Amino acid sequence: MALLTILSYPDPRLQTVARPITRIEEHHHLLIRDMFETMYESKGIGLAATQVNHHERLIVMDVSEDASKPMILINPRIIWSSSERVMAEEGCLSVPGFYDGVERAKEINVEFLNERGDINTLQAQDLLAICIQHEIDHLEGKVFVEYLSFLKRNRIKTKLLKAQREQERA
């Protein structure tokens, strides 16, 4: 097992559009294990492969209170979204320390492959639906701060770049 390095905004690698997985191989199972370890260690509820600089369409999640419901979504695709929207505070392991409101579909249906390559569908609402939409955005090269105003996004970008420069000097 290994902890993976999470890319921080505004790292341009976070803008990569991930490729579909055509065959699930042994190295994917190892990556999934390491992504769960990294997500749980960071107290996150989801992690997209993009965030650990692996550009295939793979997400791990666990929105339970007690880290008891790990979920793996391979090649996830939203096949239906409710017109009803909800505004909720979001954070991101790639945008450490910043939180802001984002509006998303309240309910979605998602089609995906599980780790054995079987097609599944899932109906999700509220936090789970928000998390899946947030993670699929990562696979499309999109970070939640892109929904914020130019002013807010730039303030976050400047602060994170400054923190990263100070980290490098330390």
Which residues in this chain contact ligand GNR in the complex, by CB under 6 A? 44-48, 51, 90-94, 130-131, 134-135, 138
**From 90, 103, 135, 140, the catalytic residue:** 135
Which one, of 3, 6, 8, lies nearest residue 143 by Cα?
8
Residue nearest to Ni ion (CB): 92
Which among Ni ion, ligand GNR, none contacts residue 6 (Cβ within 5 to 8 A by kind)? none
First vs last Cα of the chain: how many Å apart? 28
Q: Rank residues 100 and 115 by Cβ distance to ligand GNR and give the closer one.
A: 100
Q: Rank residues 24 and 48 by Cβ distance to Ni ion and give the closer one.
A: 48
| In the complex, least distance from residue 92 CB atom to ligand GNR, rounded to whole angstroms | 4
Q: Does residue 135 have an active-site annotation?
A: yes
| In the complex, least distance from residue 97 CB atom to ligand GNR, rounded to whole angstroms | 12
* Residue 39 neighbours by CB under 8 Å, 6+ apart: 45, 46, 47, 60, 61, 62, 93
| In the complex, least distance from residue 133 CB atom to ligand GNR, rounded to whole angstroms | 9
**What beta strand segments (E) does the chain contain?**
46-48, 58-61, 71-81, 85-90, 100-105, 107-113, 119-125
Residue 117 CB burial class (10 angstroms; 0-12, 13-18, ≥19): exposed
**Using CB under 5 A as the criterion, which residues of the chain lie in contact with Ni ion when the complex forms?**
92
Measure the CA–CA gap between 112 and 29, rounded to whole angstroms. 16
Q: Rank residues 24 and 52 by Cβ distance to ligand GNR and give the closer one.
A: 52
Q: Rank residues 21 and 86 by Cβ distance to ligand GNR and give the closer one.
A: 86
Which SS3 state, helix, strand or coil, does residue 51 take? helix
Q: Which of the residues are catalytic? A: 135
